Structure 1
Amino acid sequence: MFIYPSSLRHRKSSVPRATAYLSQEYRTPAWEQRKLGELSSEFKSGEFICADNVSESGSYPVYGGNGLRGYTTTFNHEGLYTLIGRQGALCGNVNIADGKSYFTEHAVAVKANHLNNTTFLYYLFGTLDLGQYSGQSAQPGLAVSNLVEVEAMVPDKAEQKKISRVFKTVDSLITLHQRKYDKLCVLKKSMLDKMFPKGGSLYPEIRFAGFTDPWEQRKLSSTCEQLSRTINPLETPNEEFTEYSMPAFDNNETAETVIGNSMNSLRKIVDRPCLLVNKLNVRKKRIWHVPRPEANAVCSSEFVPFSSHSSDLSFIKISLLSERITAYLESCSSGSSNSQKRVTPEIIMSSEIIAPSLAEQRRIGAFFDRLDSLITLHQRKLELLRNIKKSMLDKMFV
């Protein structure tokens, strides 16, 4: 269950201990192996509450096996507690609650004793994969009697507090960027609703100053043209190409450098600003805007590439991502399952969009480009902080 430092792995001792170092120069007190029950002054399940007594708002939060369930008018615990989900597919997940709260029978409430820190227990429990101790049945469950016997390595309380402060700081940053990300996503959804006409109208609800003309309905083929030039990379097997492919799209839209002999079919040449629309599983809305193609660039057959001299590509992308266009493409798709349903280039180009003048398109396109950049920025910061936290959890616990 536990991995000890290499110096201890082959040492036979009746009381296994781990030696922890905070630096190369100073030896800190050794971490000690303890049962979870020995770390706690309280370790028991909550109490049943009728679903009718849980609502979307109320005086006190209600925590179940998977975290916050809602709110109610009473509480059964007060103070700081670590919670372990004890039932269901997510049993063993860990949450933390502070203040007056109601814990249901599906949550195990744990409070540290005077020698330990409750916040530290929250982070410790998250590293122990407690779900592995659930019963092997159709409805997995954790018994308190088993959990209190689980053993873990812990430092003294002073070090526990220091470790907790580090992770609380990281969690605060994660929460901050998550809130910013969520707010930006809500703003984008609202702006998409208000800045594009709906219900048969040719006028959006809000517009940039100076634009008053009605929008026009047109087919994509009347304003865009497909990129049709192809190349066979196998004819230049040692040449390097920049390839826009689905794996590259899913990897933060980062094009890949590939060698000709690694590509076994014709590729479309991407030699000007364009949109790449994925033909497969249109519900996922995979559209790649390439404003400045890389040198010697090509795209895989999964994409339909097209450009335009009379429309703004950022605006066209936003238009194609609308639910109306997605529903149209889905209705015209063919295939055995949702993930395999595909559309032809002709169907994509037959999509009907509603568009204003080119000048207004550019203003709208630039607005959503900026919004998407901010969303991506916070999304990447979230991913970075979560990776940092995961790495720290791996390295700061024995």
Structure 2
Amino acid sequence: MVDPTTGKYDSLIHIGPGNIRSNSRELVDLKTVKDENLISGKFHFDKGDIIYGKINPQLAKYTIAPAEGLSSADTYVLKPKSGIERLFLYYTLGTNRFFKYTVSVSQRTGMPKINRDELNAYSLIIAPSLFEQKRIGLFLRKTDDLIAATQHRIDTLEHVKKALLQHVLDQSWRFKGFTDHWKRHKISDIFRVTRGKVLPTSSVANQKSLATPFPVYSSQTKHDGLLGYYHDYLYADAITWTTDGANAGMVKYRPQKFYSTNVNRVLISSQGYANTAVASILNTIAWKYVSHVGNPKLMGKVMADISLELPSIPEQKALSSLLENLNNTIRTTNVKLSKIQLLKSSLLQQLFI
């Protein structure tokens, strides 16, 4: 708003591309400005206007202004004219058609950027009536709200899991009936340290089948390191860790029979120490032993010398069961999120052909 005594804007939010998450209405690190002169190349916007980042359009940074404010020179303010609903226009920006257009026209020497004339030249496909546009926009917004709520549930579950593990590690929380002191063990005393083998990606199937029933784990972070499926296996009920690269030191428990590639090393126990609880505890400290001289590495000899405090095997089983239940809930919620996102993507393309 404008202060009637000074004629200047007072306490307005400021939005720049850095405040907008890609492909999301979500805003982060918003700041308030009390004087419009503090913003170089400022553009005033009203609540409900669309703020669109002009730099690197492939990042898809656009949002709906939650309140009146000022934007930076790296954005455009889109104010829909009569005949088009704001939400309908907003979701038009999320279509593949618009995305491909902005990427194609923004390719130039230096930083990719879409200019005002190029943005104005884009031809919209508009539903014939404002009523239909509004219904489409509201439906897609409800879909977005469902996506946000599902993501929030995942974040909450991850936080609960992290907090639970911390309480377990500092022993401020114990399962009922377990009072024994935790014992310190050296990895080489309770595990046999080995490693995976080279496996060409061309030999790995994308889907599990009767011919390829065994999961293949590698160093990737997607899908908990699942690379695909293979006709043979190397180990069963063991712990893997990534030996080098950006994910060096990442520890995972691998139940049942599996194949591990050579970028993983493997911990095998005949005493029952290979379980979710031990893998989770080890994962909280393994990163401390990663060498960052050149390519990050956590090799077998270093891992073998790590020592850690562990509860008894029965308590490990109880903790493993609790963590696995949490992991399963997180996993199924992630699947739900992916399905909703896929539904939204499909709707966008079908509604804005």
TM-score per shorter chain, which class?
0.7 to 0.9
Which residue of structure 2 aligns with residue 343 of structure 1? 299
> What is the SS of the residue equivalent to 2:322?
helix
Structure 1 residue 395: deviation in Å? 2.5
> What is the SS of the residue equivalent to 1:98?
coil
The equivalent position to 2:317 in structure 1, one of 345, 362, 369, is 362
> Percent identity among equivalent residues?
19
Contact 1:82/1:119, CA 8 A, preserved across alignment:
no
**Within 1, Cα distance between the matches of 2:91 and 2:249?**
37
Which residue of structure 2 aligns with residue 71 of structure 1? 31
Structure 1 residue 312: deviation in Å? 5.7
Contact 2:248/2:287, CA 8 A, preserved across alignment:
no
The correspondence of residues 249-260 of structure 1 with structure 2, limited to 5 A, is 250-251=222-223, 256-259=228-231
The change in CA–CA distance for 1:292 and 1:170 in structure 2 (over 3 A counts) is same
Alignment of 1:219 with 2:186, yes or no, is yes
Letter in 1 for 2:342: N
The change in CA–CA distance for 1:136 and 1:221 in structure 2 (over 3 A counts) is same
**Within 2, Cα distance between the matches of 1:176 and 1:382?**
9
**Within 2, Cα distance between the matches of 1:229 and 1:153?**
53
The change in CA–CA distance for 1:247 and 1:384 in structure 2 (over 3 A counts) is farther
Letter in 2 for 1:269: L
Structure 1 residue 259: deviation in Å? 4.7
Contact 1:223/1:310, CA 8 A, preserved across alignment:
no
The correspondence of residues 273-288 of structure 1 with structure 2, limited to 5 A, is 273-281=237-245, 283-288=247-252
Which residue of structure 2 aligns with residue 317 of structure 1? 279
**Within 2, Cα distance between the matches of 1:152 and 1:189?**
46
Which residue of structure 1 aligns with residue 65 of structure 2? 97
TM-score, with length taken from structure 2: 0.74
The change in CA–CA distance for 1:151 and 1:173 in structure 2 (over 3 A counts) is same
Instruction: Name structure 2 gaps, 5 residues minimum.
Output: 1-9, 21-26, 37-43, 198-210
The equivalent position to 2:217 in structure 1, one of 245, 248, 268, is 245
The change in CA–CA distance for 1:213 and 1:252 in structure 2 (over 3 A counts) is closer
> What is the SS of the residue equivalent to 1:290?
strand
The change in CA–CA distance for 1:390 and 1:115 in structure 2 (over 3 A counts) is same
The equivalent position to 1:307 in structure 2, one of 257, 269, 280, is 269
Structure 1 residue 250: deviation in Å? 4.3
Structure 1 residue 59: deviation in Å? 6.7
Which residue of structure 1 aligns with residue 208 of structure 2? none
Contact 1:243/1:300, CA 8 A, preserved across alignment:
no
**Within 2, Cα distance between the matches of 1:362 and 1:111?**
59
For residues 149-197 of structure 1, the C-alpha deviation after alignment (integer angstroms, 9 at most, x for no partner) is 2223222223322321231121111100111111222222323333213
The change in CA–CA distance for 1:289 and 1:154 in structure 2 (over 3 A counts) is same
> What is the SS of the residue equivalent to 2:178?
coil
**Within 1, Cα distance between the matches of 2:59 and 2:336?**
29
Contact 2:273/2:313, CA 8 A, preserved across alignment:
yes
Alignment of 1:387 with 2:351, yes or no, is no
- Structure showing greater radius of gyration is 1
Structure 1 residue 355: deviation in Å? 0.9
The equivalent position to 1:181 in structure 2, one of 139, 154, 157, is 154
Moved more, 100-109 or 241-250: 241-250
The change in CA–CA distance for 1:390 and 1:195 in structure 2 (over 3 A counts) is same
The change in CA–CA distance for 1:214 and 1:95 in structure 2 (over 3 A counts) is same
Letter in 2 for 1:337: N
Structure 1 residue 205: deviation in Å? 3.0
Structure 1 residue 70: deviation in Å? 1.1
Which residue of structure 2 aligns with residue 35 of structure 1? none
Contact 2:252/2:280, CA 8 A, preserved across alignment:
no
TM-score, with length taken from structure 1: 0.66
Which residue of structure 2 aligns with residue 113 of structure 1? 81
The equivalent position to 2:164 in structure 1, one of 187, 191, 207, is 191
Which residue of structure 1 aligns with residue 139 of structure 2? 166
> What is the SS of the residue equivalent to 1:164?
helix
**Within 1, Cα distance between the matches of 2:109 and 2:227?**
46
Contact 2:218/2:260, CA 8 A, preserved across alignment:
no
Structure 1 residue 289: deviation in Å? 2.3
Moved more, 382-391 or 279-288: 279-288
**Within 2, Cα distance between the matches of 1:282 and 1:147?**
38
Contact 1:281/1:342, CA 8 A, preserved across alignment:
no
**Within 1, Cα distance between the matches of 2:195 and 2:68?**
65
The change in CA–CA distance for 1:65 and 1:133 in structure 2 (over 3 A counts) is farther
Contact 1:195/1:206, CA 8 A, preserved across alignment:
yes
The change in CA–CA distance for 1:377 and 1:92 in structure 2 (over 3 A counts) is closer
Structure 1 residue 215: deviation in Å? 2.0
Letter in 2 for 1:291: P
**Within 2, Cα distance between the matches of 1:353 and 1:194?**
16
For residues 263-316 of structure 1, the C-alpha deviation after alignment (integer angstroms, 9 at most, x for no partner) is xxxxx732x4222333333735544423333xxx54444433313424361111
Structure 1 residue 376: deviation in Å? 2.0
Contact 1:86/1:142, CA 8 A, preserved across alignment:
yes
> What is the SS of the residue equivalent to 2:247?
helix
The correspondence of residues 82-161 of structure 1 with structure 2, limited to 5 A, is 82-87=50-55, 93-127=61-95, 128-129=98-99, 130-134=102-106, 136-156=108-128, 157-161=130-134
Structure 1 residue 366: deviation in Å? 2.2
Which residue of structure 2 aligns with residue 205 of structure 1? 172
Contact 1:91/1:140, CA 8 A, preserved across alignment:
no
